[in-house]
């Protein structure tokens, strides 16, 4: 009898825990009311009015956003991947060296974070990222640092490869 009671209590306790977890995840999406007294749709509107102090600093015309550039991997073109923290940059950078179908795929060795990505016709890199060259310009280099650093690093790498 004691075994039956303890099993029953265990089932009830697990059910209550499941219902609480379910309520936590599903409850906010339902219109069950909110503690603040406002409706849920009002709480979703994070920016109800534009900030009058906000000055639009950068304007990107549509023609710039929709322009197409030809990338010549066999020529001298290089993709410089600017890694921005907390934006999925690590996942995208890894995707560039591991999953993109190329004529000459990047060589990724097990146990190493760096891959070598050479052009189809010579031993020069076409990708400048933390997964192909490492942190050559410093940890989390921004656009300004990369602009000043990348040409020198690529020149050093090409001269070392030529030797």
E strand intervals along the chain: 79-80, 107-108, 115-116, 127-128
**What end-to-end distance do the CA atoms of the chain give, in Å?**
85
Residue among 53, 83, 95, 140 flagged as catalytic: 140
Output the CA angle 55-59-65, nearest 5 degrees: 150
Q: Are 79 and 127 in contact (CB under 8 A)?
A: yes
140 is a catalytic site residue: yes
Q: Which residues participate in catalysis according to the annotation?
A: 140
């Amino acid at each position: 009898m004691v075994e039956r009671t303890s099993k029953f209590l265990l089932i009830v306790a697990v059910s209550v825990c499941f219902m609480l977890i379910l309520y936590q995840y599903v409850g906010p999406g339902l219109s069950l009311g909110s503690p603040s007294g406002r409706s849920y749709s009002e709480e979703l509107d994070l920016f109800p009015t534009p900030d009058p102090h906000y000055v639009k600093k950068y304007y990107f015309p549509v023609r710039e956003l929709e322009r197409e550039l030809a990338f010549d991997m066999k020529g001298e073109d290089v993709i410089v991947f600017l890694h921005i923290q907390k934006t999925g940059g690590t996942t995208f950078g890894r995707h560039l060296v591991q999953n993109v179908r190329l004529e000459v795929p990047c060589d990724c060795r097990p146990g190493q974070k760096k891959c070598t990505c050479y052009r189809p016709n010579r031993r020069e890199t076409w990708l400048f990222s933390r997964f192909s060259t490492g942190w050559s310009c410093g940890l989390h280099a921004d656009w300004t640092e990369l602009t000043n650093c990348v040409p020198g690093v690529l020149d050093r790498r090409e001269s070392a490869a030529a030797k």
